[in-house]
Amino acid sequence: MKTYDLIIIGAGPAGLTAGIYARRYLLNILIIGKSYGGTITEAHKVCNFPSEEEINGFELGSKMIKQAEALGAEIKSEKVEDIKKDNDEFKVKTDKGLYKTKSIILAAGRKKQKLNIPGEKEFLGKGVSYCATCDAAFYKEKTVAVVGGSNSALTAALLLSEYAKKVYIIYRKDKFFRAEPAWKKQIEKNKKIKCIFNSNIKEIHGKESVKEVLLSSGETLTLDGVFVEIGAVPDETLTKKTDINTENGYIIVNKKQETNIKGIYAAGDLTNNPLKQVITACGEGAIAAKTAFDELKKGD
């Protein structure tokens, strides 16, 4: 069983930045993540990351991976199933192996929320999607809807408008409260996009693929695709198996990204810090790596 100084669980911006910093400290590390680059790779455009006026999310994630690997970070595409404390070390069990480590950074991020309505599960991959970046090209000259009112929903609609002939944004409130003004302005200017406020999708209908949706108003809307962008929740797969303190599912950390368990740190979207952005995830990853390094040095 191979032993590492540090295992980072999550290969998104927080985990990769932690890996970059940890390798600069010459720590022997392993980054484990099912999704290389994390959910940022699904972003159509990232316009608020320093040095990049505008960049595709996949490209940004790829750059981070390349930098981490260039510094000697070992990255594995595996699913972590369990973490157990073993004296002063930890055992990390994945679907492919077992590893030992002196410290852990949890950076697994969040998972997308679902509508939990009839037809959503049945038509997954047949008109229902959670990733506009992945599937937009399949809807050339078709009619689609985006459900949600956040930045992710608006940017998904803008991307889809480059392919589809018509894009509806269906949002449960009377206006966009959470989205940035810059994205709202682009939505207003786009003639392909129509906003339906104060509405929800109640059911998704079709045969072999999506054909229409039933709205909360009782009206039906003919569609070829439904893109769900209603936010995300912290991935509690591992925190529920440990004694890590959480707040509404988010891991409680201090200014040094420490959890209540010595040797386990957390960074990125799954922490209880308020701003969930790629830049803050990177910052938290850097802090967590520095804290881990300082603690490991004490044991030398």
Tens place of pLDDT per residue across the chain (300 aa)? 889 999 999 999 999 999 999 999 999 999 999 888 888 888 878 888 999 999 989 999 999 999 999 999 999 999 999 999 988 899 999 999 999 999 999 999 998 899 999 999 999 999 999 989 889 999 999 999 999 999 999 999 999 999 999 999 999 999 999 899 999 999 999 999 999 999 999 999 999 999 999 999 999 999 999 999 999 899 888 898 889 999 999 999 999 999 999 999 999 999 999 999 999 999 999 999 999 999 999 876
- CA angle (171 as vertex; 44, 152 as ends), nearest 5: 20
We find that the CATH architecture of domain 128-228 is: 3-Layer(bba) Sandwich (3.50)
- Number of other CB atoms surrounding residue 5 within 10 Å: 17
φ/ψ of 91, rounded to 5, equals: -105, 125
Question: Do 3-112+232-298 and 128-228 share a fold?
Answer: yes
DSSP 8-state symbol, 181: H
Task: Pick the closest to residue 172 from 142, 197, 206 (CA basis).
Answer: 197
Token digits for 161?
């408008």
Distance CA 76, CA 79 (A): 9
Please report, as a single letter, which amino acid is at residue 227. Answer: F
Residue pair 107/285 in contact by the 8 Å Cβ criterion? yes
Distance CA 126, CA 147 (A): 16
Helices (H) and strands (E) counted in the chain, each on its own, are: 6, 19
Token digits for 117?
């309505």
pTM: 0.85
What are the residue ranges spanned by the domains of the chain? 3-112+232-298, 128-228
Q: Would you tell me the crossing angle of helices 181-189 and 151-160 to the nearest 10 degrees?
A: 30
CATH node for 3-112+232-298: 3.50.50.60
Residue pair 126/153 in contact by the 8 Å Cβ criterion? no
Annotated catalytic sites, by residue? 131, 134-135
